[in-house]
Amino acid sequence: MKRLGRARAAPGLTMVELITLLAALAILLAIAIPSMSPVILHYRLQGAAWQLAGDLRLIRQPAVTLQARFRLCVTDCVLAEPPGAYSIEYDVGPPGAPAWVSDSGALTPLPPDVQLTAAATPVFSGTGAAQPASTFTLTNPIGTTTVMVTPTGAIQVWEGGPCPP
């Protein structure tokens, strides 16, 4: 027969131990988050540069396949670009009289702390060549990364400033 008696306390944490643990975790997080900020900024800049380079490669592909002119536009575009965004456009006009149309009707935003500038707007032709060659510069508080489009249409990413010749 089972004997009834006092219930034993289940093993676990007391309220004091739990509060102490939470306070220790809060202190560790307060120390770790500011030291991770440069790492996060670096990866945001790197990610934005690789996103831009990937989109440049992606617009070159339909230019060759469809024998049409495509461009990645940062300024003076069909859609009004806020700082840190760009659009992909294609030409529906006759040769010599371009009529640019947005490819998706939407802008591609970059992380809020990344600024984007372009030396020129490269236009990919049906051969895959880009005219004019251009350099896109992405900056944030941690540094600069450059994406270069060569006249042959090749895309290069260079971290830490301008691309080498």
Tell me: the pLDDT tens digits for 75-132?
Answer: 888 888 787 899 999 999 998 899 999 988 889 999 988 999 999 999 999 999 999 9
Give the chain's domain count. 1
Identify the CATH number of the domain in which residue 67 sits: 3.55.40.10
Q: Kindly report the pTM of this predicted structure.
A: 0.76
144 sits in which H/E element: strand 143-149
**pLDDT tier at 3 (50, 70, 90 boundaries)?**
low
Residue 92 to residue 27: CA distance in whole angstroms: 59
Query: What domain range includes position 142?
Result: 38-159
Instruction: Say yes or no to pLDDT of 52 above 60.
Output: yes
- Any domain includes 140: yes
Task: Establish if 27 belongs to a structural domain.
Answer: no
CA–CA separation, 50 vs 129, rounded Å? 20
C-alpha distance across the termini of the chain, in Å:
90
pLDDT tens digit sequence for 33-42? 766 688 889 9
Q: How many residues does the chain have?
A: 165
Q: Does residue 6 fall inside a structural domain?
A: no
Tokens of 146: 């450059």
Residue at 151 is within a domain: yes
Q: Please tell me the predicted confidence (pLDDT) of residue 77.
A: 87
- 18 found inside a domain: no
Instruction: Report which of 38, 54, 35, 62 is spatially closest to residue 108, judged by C-alpha positions.
Output: 54
Q: What percentage of the chain exceeds 70 in pLDDT?
A: 89
Q: Is 116 among the domain residues?
A: yes
Let me know if residue 119 belongs to a domain: yes
As given in the structure block, the two tokens for residue 131 are 């005219």
